[in-house]
Amino acid sequence: MEQQKKINVRKIELKDITKESVVEFLDWLQSNRKCSAATRNVRLAAIHSFFHFLQYQHPENISEWQRILSIRVKKSKKETINYLSVDGIKLLLEQPDTSTYKGRRDLAMFALMYDCAARVQEIIDIEPSSIRLNKPFTIKIVGKGNKARIVPMMEEQILHIRRYMTENRLFEVHSRTDPLFYNNRKEKLTRAGINSILKKYVNMARKINPALIPNKISCHSLRHSKAMHLLQAGVNLVYIRDFLGHESVLTTEIYARADSKQKREAIEKAYVNIVKKETPAWINNDNLLDWLKSFK
């Protein structure tokens, strides 16, 4: 409204917001801001929510509010899930140089991110006090909407974390609420920083074996990878849902739809050959068989 229509934000009135202006805004998001159709739809959902509210607060303009509510979402292309195989994860985690502090930190961080299927922000926010280092080993992860979940950990996972925490004196009382992973200034790492670190190791791994490292890999790919590996190991979707912190198992079903290996195995088990197997003509031809035997 301010950049395109030259209306000062403080002077915008409800009468300035029409169906036409909303559509122009949505188109501007994609053409000028280069946002995706999915982002466009998220903005539209927020606008729809506001005008649902206005129908009750200002019913005198209900016809215009309903025109705005009639704007449809735009179909967006669904991206495929990018994930690494178990061998791909192993190769990636072999890249950090463990003779250096940063290499040991990066190994501990990305191993934990995979093991717990954590989002980037969840890893950034983890504190030493979130980890239970006595049996049963668990880690408390605070996800979207400030919702916490307790994720079980194996003893092998704890070894890396315990070694890292011991080296950085994170068991001391004054460090319990510090960030678990931090930069040179003892500050939390940023999302961009972690993605940059991962990109470096992805490029290193791709040079060694490009077949194991997909073209498009992000920190979220580690979360996808763990979910896929749990599914391939036969873990029930309900448990995977809780492990990932999803509200509904419907969200978790994307992994079942994406797993082509399980689809193939299921189809192969259910396959019934309904086409009659043809017998070669020469099998029942005695004269031809006698003639072929004469060449012995």
100 and 162 in a common domain: yes
- Among 55-64, 220-229, 281-290, the minimum mean pLDDT is found in 281-290
Average the pLDDT over 29-58 and give the result: 92
Contact (CB, 8 A) for 232 and 225: no
Q: Tell me the two tokens of residue 25.
A: 């805004």
Q: Are residues 96 and 61 in the same domain?
A: no
Domain final position from 27, 43, 69:
69
pLDDT > 90: what percent of the chain? Answer: 51
Same-domain pairing of 199 and 138: yes
Q: Quickly state the pLDDT bin for 237 (edges 50, 70, 90).
A: confident
The pLDDT value given to residue 155: 84
Same domain flag for 222 and 177: yes
> What pLDDT, in 10s, does the model give residues 118-158?
999 999 999 999 999 888 889 999 988 888 999 988 888 88
**Annotated catalytic residue, options 40, 104, 105, 223:** 223
Question: In terms of domains, do 35 and 121 share one?
Answer: no
Q: Is 261 part of a structural domain of the chain? A: no
166 belongs to a structural domain: yes
In total, the chain counts a number of residues equal to 296
pLDDT category at 259 given cuts 50, 70, 90 is: low
Are residues 61 and 198 located together in one domain of the fold?
no
263 pLDDT above the threshold of 70: no
Measured at the CA of 253, the angle between CA 227 and CA 151, to 5 degrees, comes to 40
**Residue 108 near residue 123 (C-beta atoms within 8 A):** no
pTM: 0.69
Choosing from 144, 147, 191, 200, the catalytic residue is 144
At which residue do the structure tokens 């961009």 appear? 192
The C-alpha atoms of residue 273 and residue 263 are separated, in whole angstroms, by 18
User: Among this protein's residues, is 52 annotated catalytic?
Assistant: no
For the cut 90, the answer to whether the pLDDT of residue 284 exceeds it is no
Query: Is 14 in contact with 55 (CB distance < 8 Å)?
Result: no
Are residues 41 and 110 both part of a single domain?
no
In terms of domains, do 115 and 228 share one?
yes
pLDDT tens digits for range 51-66: 999 999 999 999 999 9
**229 catalytic per annotation:** no
In 3D space, the residue among 147, 86, 144 whose CA is nearest the CA of residue 115 turns out to be 86
* C-alpha atoms less than 13 angstroms from C-alpha of 124 in its C-beta half-sphere: 14
124 and 98 co-located in one domain = yes
Among residues 187, 169, 218, the alpha carbon closest in space to that of 124 is found at 187
Q: Are 155 and 221 found together in one domain?
A: yes
Which letter does DSSP use for residue 150 in this model? E
Does some domain include residue 207? yes
The pLDDT of residue 261: 59
Flag whether 76 is in a domain: no
**Domain assignment of residue 22, given as a range:** 9-69
Residue 53 is predicted with a pLDDT of 95
188 is catalytic: no
Per-residue confidence (pLDDT) for residue 114, from 0 to 100: 93
Q: Does residue 178 lie within any of the structural domains? A: yes
When the pLDDT of each residue in the chain is averaged and rounded to a whole number, the result is 86
3-state SS of 201-267 is HHHHHHHHCHHHCCCCCCHHHHHHHHHHHHHHCCCCHHHHHHHHCCCCHHHHHHHHHHCHHHHHHHH
C-alpha to C-alpha distance for 252 and 238, rounded to whole angstroms: 8
* 277 vs 236, residue with greater confidence: 236
159, containing H or E segment: helix 155-167
Regarding whether 93 and 202 lie in a shared domain, the answer is: yes
CB 43 within 8 A of CB 34: no
- Name the pLDDT band for 9 (thresholds 50, 70, 90): confident
> What was the pLDDT predicted at 127?
93
Question: What mean pLDDT do residues 94-104 have?
Answer: 93
Rounded to 5°, angle at Cα 130 from 127 and 133: 120
Domain termination site, one of 233, 262, 287: 233
Residue 255 designated active-site? yes
What CA dihedral angle connects 74, 75, 77 and 83, to 10 degrees? 90
DSSP state of 198: H
- Tally of domains in the chain: 2
Please say if the pLDDT value at position 110 is more than 60. yes
Binned at pLDDT 50, 70 and 90, residue 231 comes out as confident
Question: What is the rounded average pLDDT of the residues 226-239?
Answer: 87
Answer yes or no: is pLDDT of 276 > 80: no
User: Quick one: pLDDT at residue 34?
Assistant: 87
Report pLDDT for 278.
64
Within a domain: residue 273?
Answer: no
Q: Catalytic: 246?
A: yes
**59 and 101 both lie in a single domain:** no
What's the CATH number where 117 sits? 1.10.443.10
Asked if 271 is an active-site residue, the reply is no
Q: Which of 40, 104, 119, 229 is catalytic?
A: 119
Q: What is the pLDDT of residue 147?
A: 87
| Residue 268 lies inside a defined structural domain of this protein | no
Q: Is residue 278 assigned to a domain?
A: no
User: Mind listing the pLDDT tens digit for each residue in 169-199?
Assistant: 998 888 888 999 999 888 999 999 999 999 9
Distance CA 49, CA 280 (A): 69
